[in-house]
């Protein structure tokens, strides 16, 4: 009896301590129901009835099952598509094809406050041309940063064709951080292609022109007009292009088109194709043909083969000239140093794409029904042995076509762009045929050789293709997206038949998801794209992205990725006046701004600093100020500043533009500008 | 049994000149209790997690003897301001301000209580025995106080009327399901209380006393 109760008490204590660990992790009412298990052998009566009622074929039902992402479930990949002349980037979930976000880049975007705060305005202003703030861009080719030839999901680069600019988007917060303006040219196209470790972002000029700022008439085209290939050095630690470490290579006044950087055995090279090696100058007299004809007079144009590693050495050795205060390796130097070579390609080609193993370069014929496949081994051998068929008028050595060529495959009319899967197949868009051609890479599928496998129609006029990590060293296969230029009847019908007549004369583009996992390609989804014209896109597996859901600390300046010197903490809100300069230090938290009533005098220069001190995921505040054209997005922890001269007297309401809480409408205040 | 079987040592014999012999088990129990109390000081004693549709991961606040801690506390306070509830760390300020010296004093009292053989030892050990009960009672009081002194001018005052958050187990308020439970610090203190209680149980039968 003596030890009994004591032992009992010990055991009781132990049991109590153990019971402390029994806390559940979520209440029963919020637990998701477990999905029904078992094998689906056929449609249920309900599902069959729905399919029948909606007129869905078995293939339609299969497509629906492949693409539908139920509420609460996530997509497996993210496609970053250019927004064309919307100037933005559009992120889309794969396979659902749901738009996730439109990222402001070259064009002000008021939801994100992009271009309205001092910080974001400064980025737009970096991209000004001769003092002119540009408020649009023509985004073409997004490229996700790579490590060892695979997407690392850290940064996204995109070019503006309209003004030859490059933007850097940080995928930690999906915000644009930098815009650089090319000082040599006003248009680009072959950008933003990167080498396998993102040392450089390559930008080829498109329309040859005198170096920016110079004037010349067309009779001086061959002497004064030039193209260029710029190698922008990317400083990954800073997340910015290092302009000081960047340089360009002067190119003949052909219109350089798309580019791709080598990988594996072709690492160290950049390949760009060209149109208008005719150096046509357009319709100057009644008798002259238009550019569309005169640029396609010759049978062949030149694939540009550029040794960027050698160019980097030459640049670092100081062997360059400065044009518009930018280092440029002249053509003669590039030729002398073995940086620049040409090989003929069927006239006016479009895409140039390096195969995943880096052994071959695929050029889409556009005006020629073939893809022409070049071998880097053969190119390097020709260079090493000096096997050239002469030079172009600018002295650039030309490797004979048949020496550099590995294979040609006739695919159809208008082959443009090529992407790859994980099984040794390549996929090439056929613009004029409105189809996608699947063909085998002979070196990877010796059983098939270099041959066309099959074609699938797409609707309509397909431009670029994007495949899951399909331009990396390890393509993911499974998904292919055709970025079609025309949608025609896809999203608009016949009003006479009582159908939806469509969206007016400006039709959405049609992005089509294609299942490439099986033996035959299947179009499984049509996605209307009504906010831009995506040119190129890249698809990254979602788990490679490491995005933030809230900023790491309150007062965060997304441009410096550190706490802003103007950050405002709770309790430190204030208004400071120094002469006619007024600093307003404000916080935003659900559901009020502090301070709420602000008095300044007409003519004051107002520096307004706002920190969102909310820390909860999705607790975003907006800030809109009437009459002064201010729109901010204040994400959890974010700080923003804006500056204006209070030149209008009166009372101006400001309010939270995000529906942040039940008292969102009440989250407002007044700016009083005294006469 | 073992304690009574041991022969008194020379020092104990000297001590027995003024007090009766102290059982080594009692000493072990008291020192262990004191150690458990000291260990509990920096540990969480209680926590509550609140789930809502907007907060599927839940928001958690944890009470130690000195503060309400956790990265979700500002969010909970922010939500509470809509119903006019005081910030969590305004509760029990006096108790929290004296808790550390009090626990140290309780632990010291347990050790000191090894020596007196009269009613004083009861007085010295009693605080440690009732401390966990006091904690629970105080917790209950402040939950009642916080939920029953809502600012009538708060935005949601017409939606949420006075309530007492559930301290232990499942509760529900507005769109939130809540679950409160005791944590390691409390269990250590409870163990200390049980061990101390054991020292107060008369163990010796007359016949076995040496």
Report the 3 state secondary structure along A310-349.
HHHHHHHCCCCEEECCEEEECHHHHHHCCCEEEEEEECCC
pLDDT value at residue B210 = 34
Q: What is the H or E stretch that residue A657 is in?
A: none
Determine whether the interchain pair B78/A590 forms a contact, defined as Cβ–Cβ distance below 8 Å.
Answer: yes
- Region for residue A146 given its phi and psi (left: phi exceeds 0; alpha: psi -120 to 50; beta: otherwise): beta
Determine whether the interchain pair B82/A27 forms a contact, defined as Cβ–Cβ distance below 8 Å.
Answer: no
Report the residue from A17, A615, A662 with minimal CB separation from B75. Answer: A615
A506 interface with B at CB cutoff 8 Å: no
Q: Is a pLDDT exceeding 60 seen at residue A339? A: yes
Six token digits for residue A7 = 């032992």
A316 interface with B at CB cutoff 8 Å: no
pLDDT per residue as tens digits for the range A515-565: 999 999 999 999 999 999 999 999 999 999 999 999 999 999 999 999 999
A589 interface with B at CB cutoff 8 Å: yes
Distance CA A228, CA A207 (A): 10
CA atoms within 13 A on the CB side of A65: 12
pLDDT value at residue B11 = 46
What distance lies between CA A43 and its chain's CA centroid?
40
- The alpha-carbon gap from B157 to the nearest alpha carbon of chain A, in Å, equals 13
Determine whether the interchain pair A9/B194 forms a contact, defined as Cβ–Cβ distance below 8 Å.
Answer: yes
A665 interface with B at CB cutoff 8 Å: no
Distance CA A500, CA A507 (A): 13
B46 interface with A at CB cutoff 8 Å: no
pLDDT per residue as tens digits for the range B31-69: 999 999 999 999 999 999 999 999 999 999 999 999 999
Determine whether the interchain pair B58/A16 forms a contact, defined as Cβ–Cβ distance below 8 Å.
Answer: no
pLDDT per residue as tens digits for the range B169-178: 999 998 999 9
> For residues A313 and A31, which has the higher predicted lDDT (pLDDT)?
A313
Map residue B64 onto helix, strand or coil. Answer: coil
Q: Is a pLDDT exceeding 60 seen at residue A20? A: no
Angle at B94 between CA B91 and CA B31, to 5 degrees: 110
Determine whether the interchain pair B182/A20 forms a contact, defined as Cβ–Cβ distance below 8 Å.
Answer: yes
User: What is the pLDDT averaged over residues A653-662?
Assistant: 96
N-to-C CA span, chain B? 12
Distance CA B54, CA B76 (A): 13
- The alpha-carbon gap from B49 to the nearest alpha carbon of chain A, in Å, equals 9
pLDDT per residue as tens digits for the range A157-209: 999 999 999 999 999 999 999 999 999 999 999 999 999 999 999 999 999 99
Q: Which residues pair with A425 in a beta bridge?
A: A440
pLDDT value at residue A19 = 44
Distance CA A654, CA A669 (A): 5
Determine whether the interchain pair A16/B184 forms a contact, defined as Cβ–Cβ distance below 8 Å.
Answer: no
User: What is the pLDDT averaged over residues A230-236?
Assistant: 98
Six token digits for residue A636 = 């959890």
A569 interface with B at CB cutoff 8 Å: no
pLDDT value at residue B118 = 83
Map residue A294 onto helix, strand or coil. Answer: helix
Distance CA A509, CA A664 (A): 36
Tell me the count of A-B CB pairs closer than 8 A.
Answer: 61
Instruction: Return the residue of A nearest to B46 by Cα.
Output: A20
B75 interface with A at CB cutoff 8 Å: yes
Percent of chain B clearing pLDDT 70 (strictly above): 87
The tokens 């790859």 sit on which residue? A420
Q: Is a pLDDT exceeding 90 seen at residue A43? A: no
- At A11, the pLDDT band (50, 70, 90 cuts) reads very low
Residue A441: count other Cβ atoms within 10 Å of its Cβ.
Answer: 26
Determine whether the interchain pair B155/A663 forms a contact, defined as Cβ–Cβ distance below 8 Å.
Answer: yes
Report the residue from B181, B198, B203 with minimal CB separation from A9. Answer: B198
Judged by CB atoms within 8 Å, which residues 95-124 of B form the interface with A? none
Determine whether the interchain pair B170/A17 forms a contact, defined as Cβ–Cβ distance below 8 Å.
Answer: no
Map residue B23 onto helix, strand or coil. Answer: coil
- Interface pTM (ipTM) of the complex? 0.74
Q: Is a pLDDT exceeding 70 seen at residue B4? A: no
The tokens 């250019």 sit on which residue? A82
CATH class of A556-674: mainly beta
DSSP alpha helix (H) spans, A153-244: 221-224
User: What is the pLDDT averaged over residues A458-475?
Assistant: 97
pLDDT value at residue A218 = 96
Angle at B129 between CA B124 and CA B135, to 5 degrees: 120
Determine whether the interchain pair A23/B56 forms a contact, defined as Cβ–Cβ distance below 8 Å.
Answer: no
Distance CA A163, CA A138 (A): 8
Determine whether the interchain pair A589/B177 forms a contact, defined as Cβ–Cβ distance below 8 Å.
Answer: no
A662 interface with B at CB cutoff 8 Å: yes
- At A16, the pLDDT band (50, 70, 90 cuts) reads very low
pLDDT value at residue A206 = 97
The tokens 């300044």 sit on which residue? A600
Of the candidates A199, A272, A212, A208, the residue with the CA atom closest to the CA atom of residue A241 = A199
CA atoms within 13 A on the CB side of A408: 16
The tokens 């301290």 sit on which residue? B167
Instruction: Return the residue of A nearest to B56 by Cα.
Output: A30
Determine whether the interchain pair B179/A5 forms a contact, defined as Cβ–Cβ distance below 8 Å.
Answer: no
Contacts of A621 in chain B (CB under 8 A): none
Instruction: Return the residue of A nearest to B182 by Cα.
Output: A20
A215 interface with B at CB cutoff 8 Å: no
Q: Is a pLDDT exceeding 70 seen at residue A451? A: yes
pLDDT value at residue B159 = 86
DSSP alpha helix (H) spans, B149-183: none
Distance CA B82, CA A34 (A): 35
Six token digits for residue A200 = 């450089």
Is residue A47 a contact partner of residue A496, using CB atoms and an 8 Å limit?
Answer: no
pLDDT value at residue B200 = 84
Q: Any long-range contacts for A36-44 (C-beta under 8 Å, 24+ apart)?
A: none
- At A333, the pLDDT band (50, 70, 90 cuts) reads very high
| DSSP summary character for residue A600 | E
Angle at A643 between CA A642 and CA A648, to 5 degrees: 120
Determine whether the interchain pair A17/B195 forms a contact, defined as Cβ–Cβ distance below 8 Å.
Answer: no
Contacts of A666 in chain B (CB under 8 A): 155
The tokens 């942040």 sit on which residue? A660
Determine whether the interchain pair A9/B187 forms a contact, defined as Cβ–Cβ distance below 8 Å.
Answer: no
Angle at A180 between CA A93 and CA A326, to 5 degrees: 145
Contacts of B71 in chain A (CB under 8 A): 615
CATH node for A77-103+137-544? 2.130.10.10
The length of chain B is: 210
The tokens 């329309």 sit on which residue? A207
Distance CA B32, CA B195 (A): 8
**Cβ partners under 8 Å of residue A490, min gap 6:** A459, A510, A526, A528
- The alpha-carbon gap from A454 to the nearest alpha carbon of chain B, in Å, equals 47
Determine whether the interchain pair A13/B194 forms a contact, defined as Cβ–Cβ distance below 8 Å.
Answer: yes
pLDDT value at residue B20 = 59
Longest dimension (CA), chain A: 121
- At A367, the pLDDT band (50, 70, 90 cuts) reads confident
Is residue A418 a contact partner of residue A427, using CB atoms and an 8 Å limit?
Answer: yes
Contacts of A591 in chain B (CB under 8 A): 82, 155
pLDDT per residue as tens digits for the range B69-94: 999 999 999 999 999 999 999 999 99
- Give the orientation angle of helix A58-67 with respect to helix A45-54, to 10 degrees: 110
Contacts of B58 in chain A (CB under 8 A): 26
Contacts of B49 in chain A (CB under 8 A): 23
Disruptive mutation site among A10, A20, A29, A591 for chain B (greatest number of B CBs within 10 Å): A20
Q: Is a pLDDT exceeding 90 seen at residue A6? A: no
Distance CA A384, CA A305 (A): 14
- At B204, the pLDDT band (50, 70, 90 cuts) reads low
- The alpha-carbon gap from A15 to the nearest alpha carbon of chain B, in Å, equals 10
Judged by CB atoms within 8 Å, which residues 605-644 of A form the interface with B? 614-616
B207 interface with A at CB cutoff 8 Å: no
Instruction: Return the residue of A nearest to B44 by Cα.
Output: A20
- At A7, the pLDDT band (50, 70, 90 cuts) reads very low
Determine whether the interchain pair A9/B1 forms a contact, defined as Cβ–Cβ distance below 8 Å.
Answer: no
DSSP alpha helix (H) spans, B44-179: 73-83, 93-112, 119-148
Query: For chain A, where do the domains classified as CATH 2.130.10.10 start and end?
Result: 77-103+137-544
B191 interface with A at CB cutoff 8 Å: yes
pLDDT value at residue A35 = 39
Residue A148, burial from CB neighbour count under 10 angstroms (0-12, 13-18, 19+): exposed
Instruction: Return the residue of B nearest to A24 by Cα.
Output: B179
User: What is the pLDDT averaged over residues A629-635?
Assistant: 97
The tokens 């301070």 sit on which residue? A595
Distance CA A355, CA A428 (A): 12
Q: Which residues pair with A214 in a beta bridge?
A: none
User: What is the pLDDT averaged over residues A117-146?
Assistant: 97
Is residue B87 a contact partner of residue B77, using CB atoms and an 8 Å limit?
Answer: yes
């Amino acid at each position: 009896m003596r030890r009994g109760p004591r032992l009992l008490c010990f055991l009781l204590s132990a049991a109590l301590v153990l019971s402390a660990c029994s806390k559940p992790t979520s209440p029963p009412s919020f637990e998701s129901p477990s999905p029904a298990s078992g094998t689906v052998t056929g449609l249920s009566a309900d599902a069959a009835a729905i399919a029948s009622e909606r007129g869905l074929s078995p293939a339609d039902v299969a497509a629906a099952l492949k693409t539908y992402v139920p509420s609460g479930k996530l997509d497996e990949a993210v496609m970053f598509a250019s927004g064309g002349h919307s100037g933005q980037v559009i992120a889309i979930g794969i396979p659902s094809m749901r738009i996730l976000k439109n990222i402001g880049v070259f064009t002000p975007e008021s939801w994100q406050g992009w271009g309205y705060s001092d910080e974001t305005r400064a980025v737009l202003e970096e991209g000004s041309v001769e003092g002119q703030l540009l408020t649009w861009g023509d985004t073409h080719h997004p490229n996700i940063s790579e490590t060892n030839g695979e997407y690392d999901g850290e940064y996204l680069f995109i070019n503006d064709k309209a003004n030859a600019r490059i933007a850097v988007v940080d995928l930690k917060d999906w915000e644009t951080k930098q815009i650089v303006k090319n000082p040599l040219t006003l248009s680009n196209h072959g950008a933003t292609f990167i080498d396998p470790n993102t040392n450089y972002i390559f930008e080829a000029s498109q329309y040859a022109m005198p170096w920016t700022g110079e004037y010349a008439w067309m009779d001086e085209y061959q002497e004064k007009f030039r193209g260029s290939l710029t190698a922008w050095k990317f400083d990954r630690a800073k997340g910015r292009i290092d302009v000081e470490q960047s340089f360009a290579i002067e190119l003949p006044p052909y219109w350089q088109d798309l580019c791709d950087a080598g990988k594996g055995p072709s690492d160290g090279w950049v390949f760009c194709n060209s149109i208008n090696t005719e150096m046509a100058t357009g319709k100057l007299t009644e008798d002259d043909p238009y550019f569309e004809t005169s640029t396609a007079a010759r049978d062949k144009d030149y694939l540009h083969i550029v040794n960027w590693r050698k160019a980097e050495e030459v640049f670092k050795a100081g062997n360059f000239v400065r044009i518009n205060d930018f280092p440029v390796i002249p053509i003669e130097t590039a030729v002398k140093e073995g940086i620049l070579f040409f090989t003929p390609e069927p006239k006016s080609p479009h895409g140039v794409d390096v195969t995943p193993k880096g052994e071959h370069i695929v050029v889409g014929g556009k005006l020629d029904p073939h893809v022409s496949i070049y071998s880097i081994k053969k190119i390097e051998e020709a260079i090493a042995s000096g096997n050239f068929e002469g030079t172009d008028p600018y002295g650039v050595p030309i490797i004979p076509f048949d020496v550099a060529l590995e294979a040609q495959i006739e695919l159809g009319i208008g082959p443009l762009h090529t992407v790859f899967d994980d099984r040794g197949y390549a996929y090439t868009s056929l613009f004029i045929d409105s189809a996608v051609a699947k063909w085998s890479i002979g070196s990877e599928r010796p059983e098939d050789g270099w041959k066309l496998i099959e074609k699938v129609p797409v609707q309509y006029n397909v431009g670029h293709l994007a495949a899951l990590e399909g331009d990396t060293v390890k393509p993911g296969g499974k998904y292919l997206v055709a970025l079609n230029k025309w949608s025609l009847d896809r999203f608009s019908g016949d009003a006479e038949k009582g159908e939806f007549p469509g969206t007016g004369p400006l039709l959405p583009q049609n992005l089509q998801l294609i299942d490439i996992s099986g033996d035959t390609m299947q179009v499984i989804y049509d996605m209307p794209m009504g906010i831009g014209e995506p040119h190129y896109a890249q698809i990254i597996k979602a788990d490679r992205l490491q995005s933030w859901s809230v900023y790491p600390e309150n007062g965060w300046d997304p441009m410096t990725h550190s706490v802003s010197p103007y950050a405002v903490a709770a309790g430190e809100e204030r208004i400071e006046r120094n002469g006619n300069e007024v600093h307003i230090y404000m916080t935003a938290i659900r559901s009020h701004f502090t301070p709420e009533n602000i008095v300044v005098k007409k003519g004051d220069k107002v520096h307004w600093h706002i920190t969102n001190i909310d820390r909860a995921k999705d607790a975003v505040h907006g800030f809109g100020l009437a009459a002064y054209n201010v729109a901010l997005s204040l994400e959890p922890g974010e700080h923003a500043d804006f500056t204006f001269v209070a030149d209008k007297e009166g009372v101006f309401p400001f309010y939270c533009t995000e529906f942040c809480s039940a008292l969102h409408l009440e989250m407002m205040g007044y700016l009083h500008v005294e006469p | 049994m073992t304690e009574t079987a041991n022969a008194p040592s020379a020092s104990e014999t000297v001590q027995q000149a003024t007090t009766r012999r102290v059982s080594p088990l009692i000493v072990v129990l008291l020192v262990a209790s004191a150690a458990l109390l000291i260990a509990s000081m920096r540990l969480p004693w209680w926590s509550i997690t609140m789930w809502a549709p907007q907060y599927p991961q839940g928001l958690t606040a944890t009470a130690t003897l000195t503060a309400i801690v956790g990265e979700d506390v500002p969010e909970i306070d922010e939500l509470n301001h809509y119903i006019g509830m005081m910030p969590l760390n305004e509760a029990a300020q006096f108790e929290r301000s004296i808790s550390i010296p009090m626990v140290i004093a309780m632990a010291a009292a347990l050790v000191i209580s090894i020596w007196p053989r009269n009613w004083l030892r009861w007085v010295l050990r009693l605080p440690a025995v009732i401390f966990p009960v006091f904690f629970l009672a105080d917790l209950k009081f402040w939950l009642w106080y916080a939920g029953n002194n809502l600012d009538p001018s708060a935005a949601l005052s017409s939606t949420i009327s006075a309530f007492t958050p559930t301290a232990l187990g499942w509760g529900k308020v507005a769109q939130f399901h809540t679950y409160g439970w005791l944590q390691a610090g409390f269990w250590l203190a409870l163990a200390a209380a049980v061990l101390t209680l054991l020292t107060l149980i008369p163990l010796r039968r007359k016949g076995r006393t040496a």
